Every structure is written in C-alpha cells, then in structure tokens.
Chain A
Amino acid sequence: MRASDDPMAEFRATFFAECEDLLEGAQAGLLAMQHGRADSETLNVVFRAVHSIKGGAGAFALEEIVAFAHQFETALDQLRTGTLQPDAATILLLLNASDGLSDLVAASRDGTSLERGATDATLADLCALVSDGKADENPTEGFVVTKLSLDLDAPEPPLPERQTYRIDFVPDDALYALGNEPLFLFRALAELGDLEVVADIAMVPEIDKFVPGSSYVGWTLDLTTAASDAEIAEVFDFVDGLCTLRIARVPADRALDPVPCPPPGAQTASAQAPGSAPQEGPVGEPPQTRPEAHLPQASTAAPVAATVRVDLDRIDRLANLVGELVIQQAILTQSIADTGLTRRSTVSQNLEKLTGLTREMQNGVMMIRAQPLKSLFQRMSRIVREASAASGKPVRFSTEGEATEIDKAMIEGLADPLMHMLRNAVDHGLEPPGIRAAAGKSAQGDVRLSAAHRSGRVVIEVTDDGGGIDRAKVLDTAISRGLVSAGAQLSEPEIDSLLFLPGFSTAGEVSNLSGRGVGMDVVRSAIQTLGGRIAIRSETGRGTTFSVSLPLTLAVLDGMIVDVADERLVLPVHTIIETLTLSDDEVGELAPGSSLAMVRGQILALLDLGSALGYRAPLETIAGAQALVIALEGNERVALLVDAIHDQRQVVIKGLRDGFGRAPGVAAATILGDGQVALILDPIEIVAHAGIRAAAPLSSAG
C-alpha cells in the first residue's frame, strides 16, 4: 500500500519530516544563543519551531509531544518577554529540552516507546524554570488535544424539540469593516431551522447624508429550530462585540406573530417581499436597503418540499448515459430509415414514441443540473462593493432575475467573467462623481446585473449608466497598438468590438482594480468556452451594456447539419439567421477569393466554408451553392457557403482536447447517427479567423 492511499499517513509523514527541519533550526538557534551569536530574530525562530511542532502534534493527538512542547514554548515565551534571562544554565536546559523533544518526535515517528521517564527529568526542569516566571498548573491549559479525523459526515443526532427564537441584531460599523456579512450569518441560521428575516431600515439616511461603511440597518429574525442556545450563539461568535444582539425564546403561541410594529415614521421592508421586483441597494456600503437579497432559503409558511442530496458525479454520469442514449436512438432511427420502412409502419411509430421519451428524459436530467443564478449574483454584490470602495465611486448595485436557472457547470464558469465585467463597469464604465454631477447625473452610479430566459437561451447583462464607450479613444488605442490600420473607417459596433481583441488592454493601462493584464478578450474567451457569446451596446453619455447569451446547458446543442467537402459538420442553430440557395445573378466577385452576394437588397460577404477550413481549394463557381446567413456581433452578416444543408437536430456535445482539434472555429464535436464524429463549428470565430470583415467593410458597402 502506498502512503498516498491514506491521507492521514501522508500527513504524518509530512509532519515528521517538517519536525526534523524545525528541530534542526531550533537547535542551531539555541547553539547560536549559547555562543553569544544570537540576534533578535534567533529566539523567535526557536519559539516558532517549537510552536509549530506543538500545533502539528495536537492534530495527531500526540499528547506527550504536546505537553512537552507546551512547557518548552512557555519557557521560550518567557525569554521573549524578559521574564526569564538567557543565562548559560537556562540555555543549556533549553538545549536539553530540544534533544528531549527530538527523542519524543522520533519515538512517535517510529512507533517505538521511549524508555519510561526518559524525558521526565527535562520536563520537570522546564516546569521548574517556567514556574519561576509564572506558575502553570495545567500543562496544556487552553490547548485541547483534538484528534484530527477526516470524517466530515458524522451522523446527525436525532432532532430534539423545536423552539422559536426571536433574535434582534443591529451591526456596528466595525462588523462590516472586519469583513463580516450579515447575509452569511442569516444563511447559517437558516441551516439550523426555519428563518424569517425582517429588516428595519428606519435608520437609513438620505443619500447625501450616507456615510460609506456605516451600518444603518438592523434585523429582527425569527428562528424556529431544534438547535440549542449554544449553537445559535455560535453563529454569532465572530461578530460578538461588533453588534447589538439579543436572543430570546419566544413562547410557542407567539411563534408566528408578526414582528412588532416599527415606531411611527419608520419604514419596514419585509424579507418576504415578492422576488419579482428589482432588488436595489446602495453599494460602497453594506447592503442596507435590500433585505430581499438577504433572504435565506427559509419560509415557515410554505410546506417544505422533500429533497434528496445527490453527488454531482452521479448526475454527470446519468447525463452522459442519457447523451449516449440520444446518440444510440439517432443511430437506430437512421438504420431503420435505411431499411426503407415507411413512417407509418408500426416500427417507425414506436420509434417516434421512443424518441419523444428520450428527449423528455434528457430534459429531465438537464433540469436536475440546473440551478438558480441567485448565489452567483449575491457573490457579485461584494465585488461591486469592493470596486466602489477602491475607486471612490459610489454605486447603486441592483440585480434582476436571480431565479433564472442555468446548468450548474455554467454557474461556476461564469463567476470570473462576471466579476471582471462588474469591476470594469465600476472602474471604466462609471464616471467619477464630479463628472457625473457636471453631466446632471446623480453622484451615485447605477450598475445593474440581470438575467432572463430569451428564446431557449439565458441572457445575462451588466449595465452601467456611465459615459458610454469613448469610441474615438478606443480607435486611437487600437491604431496605436497596431490592431487597426490608421485611417480605417469603422462603424460604431466595429469599434466597440475592438475591446475584445487580444492585446487591446495591457497590464500598464488596466487599473489594479480590474485585474492585472486581464482584458475583455479573456472575458470573451471564458464566455465562448461556455458556448456563449458576448455583445456590447453603448450610448454616449448614457452608459454601456455587456450582454452575454448562453445555452441552457453545456451538454446538448440544437445543431444544423451541413455537408462541406464530403465532411458532415454541425453549426449551432442560434447563429444562423436563414438559409439560401444562391443564383448566378446574386453573386459578384469583389476581388479574387473575395465574393459578395446581393440578397434582397442587402450585401453579404461570402465565405467558402470548405476552403476556410482547409478542406479543399476555393470553389470555382459559387452559383447554385447553398448558403447559411450568420449574424455577427453588431448586426453584420456573412453568408457561409456549404455543399448541402440537411436537417436540424439536437446533438450531444463532446469536448475536444486542446491542441487535438481545438482549432480556431471548432467549438466541439458530436457523434452522429452513423457513429461518425462530426465537428461542431463556431461560425463567428471562423469568420473572424478568415479575416472577412477586414476585407469587406460591410456597413459601407451598400
């Protein structure tokens, strides 16, 4: 058996190896002291070494070491404070003690037992030395040996009877300054039982009197729980002394009474407010006026739905199996079609039922993986708060659509890009308060984070009410970085999309708020990894919106199946606006290899997909070819030429390894009904890679 099979064994090995280093250091230090070569740090090194050994030994319940090291440490501490003098006798005793500690450690490591009482004399000497300074009756007072165990799932004791507690909680300013968050306390309470939260916002001043970092909101909480008084008090352990706190048991018949009326003139916002309204609150300060956002998963009124906790791995396995089932069913459908059976045959009709069931099952599995965006959005309020504090720009942060559900894997992948976009909104989007005032805006900037379902996708938007993108400056920057040639005529959307170019933002320019050297290109590629798109809308003087559109799940995709150069390819349906068959008089050549089509009065650049992918030489003649019209960012359109367009169907996404197929324009792969692998393309990336837009400035072509 290898050591790594047992994490505890591995820890012990690490611990003993570390002890050797520490003891060596301690002995060297003590010897230096003996020879008068010690400086002020020497004693600290010795102290820390003994202290670390004691800490580690405690984790492994090596009580003998703990007891010995504790006396040793106490003696060293008394030397540090000057209670003890480092005379020759004392140092000699300490050297003996380090030998004794070495022996104890070696004995524990090798599992041998020391000769009984081998270190007792040294321990007694240490005790005597220490008690000269200060008596220490209990050798390990304040240091309880708790054996480290890795069992995180200890069985829970049976539930005692439930009680309702009324908790009055008013944070001091310092509570926020030390990094506490009332929301998390409430969440911990909600885990103990059913929680009702009511915020008292009577103390919130007018905005111009608002002092950032001040606490203006108190809460009254009703907790119905089987937990003990001590367990409830433990939740408030970290904020003890940083708030006004009163915890009292409520008599059973009063448990569901409403919170007493606030004093006249005071406003009370109920935590049970409907979730449909946008949730707003100033940021730069703790979220005083948005108690809704603090609503933990608790409601005494609604019946509790039964839930089961399932390991995510199991769900992933199930999702994979269902994916296989979908593929297998497609294979079956195809082979039955190949036998020439009509759609009316019993086999075909039964197969259709099977197809429907498979689809439903797939949706069902995907729904298990879906989670509301709420927790992600809540984390973001802190980001905005920090950005606001760091930039000195007061911000009102609001969220909308927190209940929108999305694949769990997607939620994790969204955290970083969202964080970056929000920091950008505060840092670059919003103007400084002085400039806002001059423009007739309130000093406090608005940043909004919203989510909504839109035609089978989830759209998440980050909106600020700042000055909008300074396009002249963006263009200048792009030219100076060599990303665009000087004198290029670009439309507004084209200028906006320059922000996404790698190399547009550089470390030197990005403030340390928005992250070092992380530009919007990184945000875009993170979104693309999730199968999403990002777009910008910006209006000078009015603000900017970054809009992210994502598939509901990472596992399946609505794909259009096409043929190109004898290869079958899949294009995401959501990128396709329409399909066309081009006739001769609709096509014209602009330059060799660069063709245009005129479709219903609109000019489209044409891209031969087969040659763009390197599958074949460019087409000789385009007339008669089939084309897919693709929407690019900013309403630009490009027609992709293909040999044939087949049906539209749901495909199961299979990842490709970086370097083994993740070429530009290839998003992933899938397995078709005939068992063949087909690539799933990212048409927008293909167009960008082919450099079509540079060749044909579309907006000026008409």
Chain B
Amino acid sequence: MTTVLAVDDSRTMREIIALTLRGAGIDTHLAKDGQHGLEVLEELAPDAIITDINMPRLDGYGFIAAVRDRSQSRTVPILVLTTESADDLKARARAAGATGWIVKPFDPGKLVRAVQMVTG
C-alpha cells in the first residue's frame, strides 16, 4: 500500500486530503506543520510527502530542505501544495527540493493522480 505523509496547518485541508487519498486506497498520515512533519518522519517512511508552504514553526521550504537533508528521505517524492500556479512558484518549490506541485484548490482526481505519478 502506498503511504503518504500530508503536512498542512489547515485542519480542513488535512481532512480533505486524507479523505481523498484514503478513498483511493492510499495510507495517509497527517502532520500540522513542518516541525510536526519531521517528528512523524522519525517513525514513518512514506512513499511520498505532500506539504503546504505557509505554515507556523517550520514552513514548507524549511521542511523540504530538512527532509532532503535526512539520508532516509533524500529521494522521497515531495509534492508542494500551492495556491498559485505561476512559474516562479514552481521554480521556488523546485529549488527547495520539491518533486512536483498541486495547485489549490485541487480536484480529488488530480491529487490522487499527482501522488500516483510520483509513487508509481
């Protein structure tokens, strides 16, 4: 079963992501910010990570950098949730180490496809 860690400070967003992914048979774990996400990663080796950018304590860019810094998760696919699809946001996400992006608000099929695209 594919395992995904979704990091977002919005409870609504977390629940939507969880319902959408679990509905597609994807084992979904949640964290409420980057710091919490790193804590979860101590116990979990997901097949992919979805993260928001704007978050308290540790934002998405810092979180991605920390994830890429850990030997266990150096190459794990990371998808960034972004409200804009502008090219410079893609570039920023990529510079931080993201694999791909999902533009909010997303439709459920797109989210599932994006996860499948990076986990096979």
Q: Which residues of A contact B (CB under 8 A)?
A: 7, 10-11, 14-15, 17-18, 44-45, 47-48, 51-52, 54-56, 58-59, 142-143, 145-146, 148-150, 152, 154, 176-181, 183-185, 187-188, 235, 237-238, 241-242, 375, 378-379, 382, 385-386, 389-390, 412, 415, 419, 512-513, 516
Contacts and interface: CB of A to CB of B under 8 A. Distances in A.
B39 to A, nearest CB: 13
Nearest to A153: B109
Interface in B15-40: 15-16, 19-20, 23-24
B3 to A, nearest CB: 9
B118 A180 contact: yes
Contacts of A390: 71-72, 74
Contacts of A54: 83
28 contacts: A10-B15, A11-B19, A44-B56, A47-B54, A48-B54, A51-B54, A55-B13, A56-B12, A58-B83, A59-B16, A146-B107, A148-B16, A150-B108, A152-B108, A152-B109, A152-B112, A154-B109, A176-B75, A177-B75, A178-B98, A180-B118, A181-B120, A184-B118, A184-B119, A238-B117, A242-B94, A390-B71, A516-B43
A27 B81 CA distance: 26
Interface string B67-99: 000011111111000011110000000100111
Given A146-B106, A389-B71, 12 more contacts: A10-B15, A14-B12, A15-B12, A52-B9, A56-B12, A58-B83, A143-B83, A150-B19, A152-B24, A183-B120, A238-B118, A386-B74
A512 B73 CA distance: 12
Given A148-B105, A148-B108, A179-B99, A55 B10 contact: yes
Nearest to B24: A152
B97 A178 contact: yes
A45 B56 contact: yes
Contacts of A188: 116-117
B23 to A, nearest CB: 7
Contact of B74 (A145, A378, A389): A389
B102 to A, nearest CB: 10
Closest 5 pairs between A and B when the two form their complex, measured CB to CB: A238-B100, A390-B71, A58-B105, A179-B77, A179-B99
Given A179-B75, A179-B99, A56 B54 contact: no
Nearest to A47: B54
Contact of B120 (A17, A176, A378): A378
Given A18-B10, A148-B16, A379 B83 contact: no
Contacts of A59: 12-13, 16, 104-105
Contact of B99 (A56, A238, A419): A238
Contacts of B100: 237-238
A242 to B, nearest CB: 8
A48 B1 contact: no
B104 A58 contact: yes
Contacts of B117: 184-185, 188, 235, 238
B83 A51 contact: yes
A148 B75 contact: no
Q: Is the interface of A mostly helix, strand, loop or mixed?
A: helix
Contacts of A149: 107-108
A80 to B, nearest CB: 11
Nearest to A382: B75
Nearest to B49: A179
A58 B20 CA distance: 16
B55 interface: yes
B13 A56 contact: yes
B76 A179 contact: yes
B93 to A, nearest CB: 10
A342 to B, nearest CB: 53
Contacts of B16: 11, 59, 148
B117 to A, nearest CB: 6
A513 B77 CA distance: 18
Given A51-B83, A184-B117, A389 B9 contact: no
B74 A52 contact: no
Contacts of A148: 16, 105, 107-108
Contact of B105 (A10, A146, A412): A146
Query: Which one of A148, A154, A238, A375 has the highest number of Cβ atoms from chain B below 10 Å of its Cβ?
Result: A238
B118 A18 contact: no
Contact of B12 (A11, A143, A185, A386): A11
Contacts of B78: 178-179
A176 B76 CA distance: 10
Contact of A152 (B15, B23, B94, B118): B23
Contacts of A178: 78, 94, 97-99
A197 to B, nearest CB: 15
Given A238-B100, A389-B75, A18 B107 contact: no
Contact of A184 (B45, B73, B108, B120): B120
Nearest to A238: B100
A119 B54 CA distance: 27
Query: Which one of B10, B11, B71, B97 has the highest number of Cβ atoms from chain A below 10 Å of its Cβ?
Result: B10
Contacts of A415: 1
B21 to A, nearest CB: 11
A375 B116 CA distance: 13
Given A148-B108, A235-B117, A379-B120, A7 B10 contact: no
Contacts of B10: 18, 52, 55-56
A152 B112 CA distance: 9
Interface string B35-63: 00000001101010000001110000000
A149 B108 CA distance: 7
B11 A14 contact: yes
A48 B108 CA distance: 23
Contacts of A14: 11-12, 15
Contacts of B118: 179-181, 184, 238
A110 to B, nearest CB: 18
Contacts of B116: 184, 188
Contact of B84 (A142, A183, A375): A142
A142 B85 contact: yes
B9 A48 contact: yes
Contacts of B108: 148-150, 152
A242 B95 CA distance: 12
Contacts of B76: 179
A127 B99 CA distance: 35
Contacts of A378: 120
A147 to B, nearest CB: 8
Contacts of A152: 23-24, 108-109, 112
Contacts of A176: 75
Nearest to A21: B11
